[in-house]
C-alpha cells in the first residue's frame, strides 16, 4: 500500500475466507483498508446485508473492486483519513496491510476514531518473532523474500507484544489474537480489537499490573482496584506468558486494557513493555498479588505533589522489606482491612517519610520519572534490585522518594518465587552482585522482599 505496483495475479483478489470468518454477521457498515479487487467484500455482501467501502492504491485492482463492493476509494493509506467521510463503521479490516505502511500506528489511531461504539477492527499481521526468523537471526541472516514473513515490500515488523502495544496506543483492546496456522507455528496473528468500556475519560493515572499465572490473586487485585479507586484511572495488565487461563480472563474483561507477552520477560522488562506506552500524569507499578484500600490513589497523589523533587511514593504494607512494613496486622478479611487502613490514615500525623529505597511491589510515580530517570534496568532479569537501582539513580540526579504512612496496601507476597525458594535465593545473590558492580558499591546489606514475579 505504500506505492503503486503492477497487479499480480492472486495478490489483490484473494477472498480471505479466514478473515471473513472473523467479521461479525451483525456488521452493517464495513471499511476494508487495502481491499484489492474487493473479493473479500464481495464474499461478505453475499453472506450478509451490509455496505462495504474499500480503499486501494492499485488502480487496476480498484477497477475490479468497483463491481464487487459499494464504494471504492483510490488512496494511499499513509495519508488516507477515514474521518473525512463522516461515517461510523461496525467493522474495519486491515488484512496484511499494516506491515507495508510507513506509520501503521497512525493508521490504527485514525481507524479507531471512526469505529462505532460496538464495532471491531480485524487485522492479520505477520509475526517476525517466528522461529524461522529468530533462528536465522542467530546466524546473522535477515534475508528479504518475494513474499511471506520477510516480504521485501514490508516496511514494519511486528511481534505479538508489539501488536498489543500498537492497539493499546490507539485506545483499543484486543479480545482475540489467534496464531495462524497454529500456536506452535505462528506465522501470522489474526487480531480482533474493540473499544473498551471507558470508566474514566481523562484518567490521571495508569495502574500497571504485571502477571504470570496466579489468576486467583490477579482477580482479587483488579476487583479491589475497581471497587475502591474513584480517582480517574485506567488499568493496564501486562501478562508475562501465563498458562493458567489468565490471558483468557483478561481478554474477556472489557473494562481493562492488557498486553500479552509470549514469554516471561521478568519484572523490569515486563513493566517496561507497558511503561513505553504510558502517558498519564501518574502511573503505578502494581504486583498482581496486592489488595488496595479506599482513597489510596487520591491520598498518594495529594502527597506526592507536595514537592516537585519527589518522584515516587510507596505505601505501608504487611509484606515488604525495610521500614515500609507494619508487622502483626490485625485484620482477617477485606472489611477489616479497609477499617484498619482507615484507622491508620486518621491516626497519621506525618504522612511522608523520606527513604533511600522504596520497594516496587506497589509504587506511585510521576510521569516525569520516565523522562528524567528512564525505565527499569533489564539487566536484573526476572527481578530483584531493579527498585534499589532505580531509587539510587533517582537520588543521584537530585530527586527523592518516600513512603506514605497514611496509605496501607495488603500484599500476599511474591507468589511466583515462593514456589521455588532456591531459585529466588540464587537470583537474589546474582542481582545483588550486578547492582553492586553497576554502582561500584563494596558493601551492601540489603534484605529483599520485592515485586519480583
pLDDT of residue 424: 83
Quick check: bond before 417 cis, omega within 30?
Answer: no
Cell numbers at residue 353, please?
A: 517519610
- Beta strands at 290-291 and 282-287: parallel, antiparallel or unpaired: unpaired
Q: Please state the separation of Cα 113 from the chain's center in Å.
A: 20
Q: Please state the separation of Cα 239 from the chain's center in Å.
A: 8
Average pLDDT over residues 209-213: 97
Q: What is the DSSP letter of 6?
A: P
Q: Under a CB-based contact definition with an 8 Å cutoff, are residues 416 and 383 in contact?
A: no
Percent of the chain with pLDDT over 70: 94
Provide the pLDDT confidence category of residue 415 given band limits of 50, 70 and 90.
low
Q: Under a CB-based contact definition with an 8 Å cutoff, are residues 372 and 424 in contact?
A: no
Dihedral sign of CA atoms 364, 366, 369, 371 in order: positive
Convert the pLDDT of each residue in 285-343 to its tens digit: 999 999 999 999 999 999 999 999 999 999 999 999 999 999 999 999 999 999 999 99
pLDDT of residue 451: 45
Convert the pLDDT of each residue in 51-108 to its tens digit: 999 999 999 999 999 999 999 999 999 999 999 999 999 999 999 999 999 999 999 9
pLDDT of residue 445: 60
Convert the pLDDT of each residue in 221-265 to its tens digit: 999 999 999 999 999 999 999 999 999 999 999 999 999 999 999
Cα–Cα distance measured from residue 408 to residue 410, given in angstroms and rounded to the nearest whole number = 7
Least confident piece of the model among 192-206, 276-290, 376-390, 405-419: 405-419
CB atoms within 10 A of CB 25: 9
Q: Under a CB-based contact definition with an 8 Å cutoff, are residues 87 and 29 in contact?
A: yes
pLDDT of 373 strictly over 80: yes
Task: Quote the mean pLDDT of the chain.
Answer: 93
DSSP run (H or E) holding 337 = helix 334-347
User: How far, in Å, are 176, 251, 446 from residue 194 at the CA level?
Assistant: 10, 11, 45
- Beta strands at 205-211 and 290-291: parallel, antiparallel or unpaired: unpaired
More confident call, 442 vs 11: 442
DSSP run (H or E) holding 415 = helix 415-418
Cα–Cα distance measured from residue 113 to residue 165, given in angstroms and rounded to the nearest whole number = 18
Convert the pLDDT of each residue in 266-276 to its tens digit: 999 999 999 99
pLDDT of 416 strictly over 60: no
Find which of 190-199, 309-318, 441-450 is predicted with most confidence, using mean pLDDT.
309-318
Convert the pLDDT of each residue in 96-142 to its tens digit: 999 999 999 999 999 999 999 999 999 999 999 999 999 999 999 99
pLDDT of residue 324: 98
DSSP run (H or E) holding 426 = helix 421-438
Convert the pLDDT of each residue in 340-367 to its tens digit: 999 999 999 999 999 999 999 999 999 9
User: Torsion-angle region of residue 168: left (phi > 0), alpha (psi -120 to 50) or beta?
Assistant: alpha
Domains identified in the chain and CATH numbers? 17-194 (3.40.50.150), 205-438 (3.90.550.10)
Amino acid at each position: 500500500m505504500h506505492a503503486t505496483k503492477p497487479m499480480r495475479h492472486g495478490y489483490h483478489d484473494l477472498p480471505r475466507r479466514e478473515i471473513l470468518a472473523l467479521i461479525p454477521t451483525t456488521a452493517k457498515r464495513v471499511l476494508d483498508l487495502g481491499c484489492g479487487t474487493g473479493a473479500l467484500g464481495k464474499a461478505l455482501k453475499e453472506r450478509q446485508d451490509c455496505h462495504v467501502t474499500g480503499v486501494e492504491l492499485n488502480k487496476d485492482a480498484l477497477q475490479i473492486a468497483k463491481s464487487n463492493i459499494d464504494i471504492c476509494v483510490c488512496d494511499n493509506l499513509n495519508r488516507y483519513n477515514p474521518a473525512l467521510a463522516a461515517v461510523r463503521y461496525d467493522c474495519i479490516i486491515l488484512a496484511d496491510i499494516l506491515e507495508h505502511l510507513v506509520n501503521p500506528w497512525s493508521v490504527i489511531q485514525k481507524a479507531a476514531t471512526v469505529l462505532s461504539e460496538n464495532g471491531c477492527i480485524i487485522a492479520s499481521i505477520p509475526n517476525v518473532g517466528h522461529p524461522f526468523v529468530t533462528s536465522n537471526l542467530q546466524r546473522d541472516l535477515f534475508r528479504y523474500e518475494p513474499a511471506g514473513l520477510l516480504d521485501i515490500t514490508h516496511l514494519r515488523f511486528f511481534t505479538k507484544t508489539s501488536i498489543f502495544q500498537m492497539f493499546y496506543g490507539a485506545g483499543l483492546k484486543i479480545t482475540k489474537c489467534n496464531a495462524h496456522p497454529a500456536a506452535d507455528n505462528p506465522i501470522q496473528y489474526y487480531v480482533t480489537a474493540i473499544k473498551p468500556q471507558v470508566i474514566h475519560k481523562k484518567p490521571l493515572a495508569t495502574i500497571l499490573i504485571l502477571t504470570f499465572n496466579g489468576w486467583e490473586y490477579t482477580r482479587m487485585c483488579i476487583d479491589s482496584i475497581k471497587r475502591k479507586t474513584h480517582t480517574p484511572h485506567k488499568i493496564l495488565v501486562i501478562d508475562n506468558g501465563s498458562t493458567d487461563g489468565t490471558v483468557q480472563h483478561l481478554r474477556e474483561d472489557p473494562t481493562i486494557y492488557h498486553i500479552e507477552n509470549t514469554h516471561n520477560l521478568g519484572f523490569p522488562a515486563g513493566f517496561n513493555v507497558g511503561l513505553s506506552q504510558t502517558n498519564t500524569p501518574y502511573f503505578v507499578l502494581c504486583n498482581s498479588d496486592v489488595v488496595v484500600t479506599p482513597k489510596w490513589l487520591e491520598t498518594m497523589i495529594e502527597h506526592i505533589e507536595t514537592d516537585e523533587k519527589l518522584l515516587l511514593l510507596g505505601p505501608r504494607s504487611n509484606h515488604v522489606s525495610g521500614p515500609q512494613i507494619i508487622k502483626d496486622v490485625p485484620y482477617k478479611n477485606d472489611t477489616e482491612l479497609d477499617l484498619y487502613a482507615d484507622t491508620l490514615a486518621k491516626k497519621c500525623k506525618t504522612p511522608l517519610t523520606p527513604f533511600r529505597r522504596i520497594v516496587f511491589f506497589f509504587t506511585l510515580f510521576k510521569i516525569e520519572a520516565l523522562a528524567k530517570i528512564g525505565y527499569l534496568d533489564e539487566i536484573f532479569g526476572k527481578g530483584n534490585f531493579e527498585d534499589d537501582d532505580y531509587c539510587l539513580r533517582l537520588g543521584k540526579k537530585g530527586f527523592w522518594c518516600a513512603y506514605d504512612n497514611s496509605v496501607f496496601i495488603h500484599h500476599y507476597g511474591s507468589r511466583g518465587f515462593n514456589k521455588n525458594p532456591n531459585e529466588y535465593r540464587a537470583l537474589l545473590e546474582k542481582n545483588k552482585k550486578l547492582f553492586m558492580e553497576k554502582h561500584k558499591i563494596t558493601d551492601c546489606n540489603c534484605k529483599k522482599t520485592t515485586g519480583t514475579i
